[in-house]
């Protein structure tokens, strides 16, 4: 398999140049179908912030996915590509008035919130919207903590649901996010327990809830030898807890982003310069942290760097092409000795890479994206 990929990389570099971001449609579909097999009672809403490339979105539309959007621009993108308004959740708990108006006009009436002022905005500009209260939950062991900025304290949930109802909105359920690349299943378990208690208390006061949004955070492998919990094992725990803690008629949804897009991406770069500094090889690549390695900064991600070269490995530094010293990809990689033109590639980099790249900083463009 490795030999086949590397042979393909050589052909593509010869034909297209580099850097290149390869996105596999088959891998996108496989991840979607894997999610459905392991969590058959959970409806996925792809979080397009992970990678909003139109062909990726169209692939998931063809699979029947819903979509998690954070802005009117994201919403309009998925609508323009053929997504149905009733398959979109506006899952940013802080929305501008203009974006709420745009959602109302587009008939996107499913939203999250985590504070009282947001409810007043939604009630005024998207009356009758169906809303989920997002609560703060543990993010222990997750690569990116998402409860630092979002989520109401759970003891405020009932008050906020009552307020939503009093404003003419439709309080439908609870939302949470355990943090991105979560390898601690206890985050989910605890979040289920808290959410179940909120469902029970809401029912007592005449607000029956029907939807639980379990967010995203499902882990993928970035390294060949990663030994953290697998999605398959995590899903077993989640299915058991959902069955035990919630009524049969509760609808579960999720917002996978990295899990869907990450494994589909392979980034191909080339060495454009080399030197020997600080007693090790320095290799300068034609892509860096301002480009498709932006996930190192914004996603706190670590990647496995592979070379087409063989031979003895040496401690090496990888840097990007810009004139900013911040553009250092890694200070300690074991790599064979390379020359200008040699290829360095990274698998499982389809999420939070090209999506958060800075276009044309210092005149360097992000990688050309090829759907394969």
Both tokens of 307, joined, read 């070379």
Instruction: Determine contact, residues 67/85, Cβ cutoff 8 Å.
Output: no
Say which residue the tokens 């958060």 belong to: 356
**Of the residues 222, 237, 262, which one is the last residue of a structural domain?**
262
Same domain, 250 and 269: no
* Low-confidence spans in the chain with pLDDT less than 50: 142-146
Same domain, 65 and 148: yes
CA distances from 241 to 193, 222, 246, 340, 359 (A): 8, 28, 8, 54, 44
Instruction: Determine contact, residues 244/287, Cβ cutoff 8 Å.
Output: no
**Of the residues 262, 284, 303, which one is the last residue of a structural domain?**
262
Question: Using a CB cutoff of 8 Å and minimum separation of 24, what contacts does 114-118 make?
Answer: 114/150, 114/151, 114/152, 114/160, 115/152, 115/160, 116/160, 116/163, 118/93, 118/94
Q: What is d(CA 301, CA 220) in angstroms, rounded to the nearest whole number?
A: 12
Handedness of CA 356, 268, 53, 26 (dihedral sign): negative
Q: What is the pLDDT of residue 137?
A: 86
Q: What is the pLDDT of residue 225?
A: 75
**Of the residues 234, 262, 290, which one is the last residue of a structural domain?**
262
Contact partners, residue 34, CB within 8 Å, separation at least 6: 231
Instruction: Determine contact, residues 176/192, Cβ cutoff 8 Å.
Output: no
Q: What is the pLDDT of residue 271?
A: 97
State pLDDT tens for residues 254-274. Answer: 999 999 999 999 999 999 999
CA distances from 324 to 221, 291, 303, 352, 360 (A): 30, 13, 21, 21, 14
pTM: 0.91
Q: Is 281 helix (H, G, I), strand (E, B) or coil?
A: strand
Both tokens of 4, joined, read 């086949």
Same domain, 66 and 48: yes
Instruction: Determine contact, residues 110/129, Cβ cutoff 8 Å.
Output: yes
Q: What is d(CA 57, CA 69) in angstroms, rounded to the nearest whole number?
A: 12
Phi, psi of 357 (to 5 degrees): -65, 150
Catalytic residues: 323
Residue 242: which domain range? Answer: 25-262
Same domain, 143 and 174: yes
Same domain, 205 and 253: yes
- The CATH number of residue 298's host domain is 2.40.37.10
Same domain, 255 and 319: no
Instruction: Determine contact, residues 332/7, Cβ cutoff 8 Å.
Output: no
- The CATH number of residue 135's host domain is 3.20.20.10
Same domain, 129 and 199: yes
Both tokens of 86, joined, read 């009733």
């Amino acid at each position: 398999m490795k030999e086949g990929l590397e042979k393909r990389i050589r052909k593509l570099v010869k034909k297209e140049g580099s850097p290149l971001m390869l996105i596999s449609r088959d891998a996108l579909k496989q991840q979607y179908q894997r999610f459905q097999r392991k969590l058959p009672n959970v409806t996925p809403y792809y979080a397009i912030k992970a990678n909003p490339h139109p062909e990726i979105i169209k692939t998931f539309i063809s699979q029947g996915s819903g979509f998690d959007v954070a802005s009117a621009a994201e919403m309009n993108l998925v609508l323009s590509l053929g997504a149905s308004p009733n398959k979109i959740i506006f899952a940013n708990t802080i929305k501008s008035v203009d974006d709420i108006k745009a959602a109302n006009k587009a008939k996107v009436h499913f939203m999250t919130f985590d504070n009282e002022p947001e409810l007043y905005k939604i009630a005024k500009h998207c009356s009758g919207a169906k809303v989920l209260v997002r609560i703060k939950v543990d993010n222990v062991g997750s690569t990116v903590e998402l409860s630092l900025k979002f989520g109401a304290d759970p003891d405020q949930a009932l008050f906020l649901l009552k307020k939503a109802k009093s404003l003419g909105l439709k309080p439908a359920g609870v939302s949470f996010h355990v943090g991105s690349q979560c390898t601690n299943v206890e985050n989910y378990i605890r979040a289920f327990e808290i959410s179940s208690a909120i469902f029970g208390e809401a029912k007592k006061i005449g607000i029956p809830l029907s939807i639980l949004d379990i967010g995203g955070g499902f882990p993928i492998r970035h390294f060949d030898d990663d030994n953290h919990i697998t999605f398959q094992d995590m899903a077993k725990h989640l299915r058991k807890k959902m069955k035990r803690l919630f009524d049969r008629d509760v609808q579960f949804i999720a917002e996978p982003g990295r899990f869907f897009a990450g494994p589909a991406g392979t980034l191909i770069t080339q060495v454009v310069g080399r030197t020997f500094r600080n007693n090790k090889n320095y290799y300068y690549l034609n892509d860096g942290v301002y480009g498709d390695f932006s996930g190192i900064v914004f996603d706190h991600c670590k990647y496995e760097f592979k070379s087409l070269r063989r031979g003895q490995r040496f401690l090496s530094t990888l840097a990007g092409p810009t004139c900013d010293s911040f553009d250092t990809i890694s200070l300690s990689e074991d790599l064979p000795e390379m020359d200008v033109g040699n290829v360095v590639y990274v698998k499982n980099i389809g999420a939070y890479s090209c999506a958060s790249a800075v276009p044309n900083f210092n005149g360097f463009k992000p990688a050309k994206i090829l759907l394969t």
